[in-house]
Amino acid sequence: MSNLRILHIVPWFPNPKNDIEGVFILEHLKALNKHCYNEVLHISFGNSNFKDIYLTENIKTNRINIKTYTEKWREKEFFAGKAVNRFLNKTNERFDIVNFHIAYPNAININKLIKKHSNLKFAITEHWTAYSNSFNLQKNDKGRKRIENIFNNDIPLFVVSTALGNDIQKFIGDKNRQYTVVPNVIDCVNFKYKPKSIKKEFIFLSINNWNSMKNPFVLIKAFKLLLEKHKNIKLILGGKGSMNVQMKKLVTDLDINNSVEFVGRLTKKEVVSQLQNSHVYCQSSNYETFSVICAEALITGTPVIATRIGGMLDFINGTNGTLVDNLEVDSWLKAMESNYSNYSKIDTKQISENCVAKYNSQAVGNLYYSKLMNVFNEK
């Protein structure tokens, strides 16, 4: 095991009150655990001030909860910056690298920290979708300028997808800003390949927190048109959200209740089962930073139809699914028809093997560690 010691500073992380918060960050750290010492500083905000230390999957987690008096981000920036500085003043000799997962607001003073703690190397690992719409901030907004300044330097930047890296370049107005893609870890233990068989029904599946970003109406309308040609198809919609009522009304209005099933919120075990027993997974989103569910679908051997946007561009191609150029019903109908008609030609086992090889914990951990070692060895 390497002697490399890394402090990961996070705004979201599994904790006693929420064991799934920021779980994607935890998966990155678990993948690194085979290579180096990892410790977490979790800065959160709430109604009281407290500090605690506990183990999360054998990773020492220092949690600092800060009471704020307003919901203004400027206040959170101030307190987060102060907490990071105090922690590093006490502990900087313990670490080689300080890695900010999700830069804002914890890394707001990163340029000052670099100068103050010259014995440390710094890095940023970004996961946040907010850069795709520039945090809904205008170009001349002071808050936006403060966020931009976090990246206006040569600090190594890791992102979970090429799309997120490009979004950050656009956000800060620097198309030459360097970044390295380190993808999310996908659970290859619970999500496993299962051979597909077509008995009575050919099943299309989509599982989401249903909101306007997920564009369920496009998918439902395209399915209705496909159903007019092929009576043996079924659409299963998992998850809940603000658009569930409208979705169910549309299904009723289109008179396709007998062919569309709403299965509600699902456990992980239920998600695995639905993916393994479906033939094609559909994701008609406006945007996805990565889309873990699409990668999980591929691991089970389920080809994916998705909008040609975001993180899906990194791993969906003609061999494992279809990227749709727009959110027009006719385009989605064409993609669904193609996958249905040509399904016998799809190598579902190869789809699974390729995805497992790229996104399993060991592969991602090896990649991430090698890139962090490059950070450590930089002069």
Strand partners, 56: 59
Q: Do residues 234 and 260 touch, judged by C-beta distance below 8 A?
A: yes
CATH topology agreement for domains 5-185+360-377 and 202-358 = yes
DSSP state of 218: H
**Position 1 confidence tier, pLDDT thresholds 50, 70, 90:** very low
pLDDT of residue 200: 85
d(CA 208, CA 181): 25
Nearest alpha-carbon partner for 119 in 94, 85, 142 = 94
Residue pLDDT, tens place only, 17-66: 899 999 999 999 999 999 999 999 999 999 999 999 999 999 999 999 99
pLDDT in tens, 87-102: 999 999 999 999 999 9
pLDDT at 69 over 90: no
| Pair of tokens at residue 182 | 């380190």
CATH topology of domain 5-185+360-377: Rossmann fold (3.40.50)
CA distances (Å), origin 184, targets 128, 205, 326, 361 = 12, 22, 26, 9
Domain locations in the chain?
A: 5-185+360-377, 202-358
Q: How far is CA 100 from the centre of its chain?
A: 16
d(CA 107, CA 49): 20
Please tell me the distance from the alpha carbon of residue 32 to that of residue 28, in angstroms, as a whole number: 6
- What would the mean pLDDT of 2-8 be, rounded to a whole number? 89
Residue with token string 């080689």: 96
For residue 239, give every residue at least 6 positions away whose Cβ sits within 8 Å of its Cβ, in sequence order, or none.
207, 208, 209, 210, 264, 265, 266
And the tokens for 133?
Answer: 């719409």
Topology of domain 202-358, CATH: Rossmann fold (3.40.50)
pTM of the model: 0.94
Backbone angles phi, psi at 332, to 5 degrees: -70, -35
d(CA 295, CA 275): 11
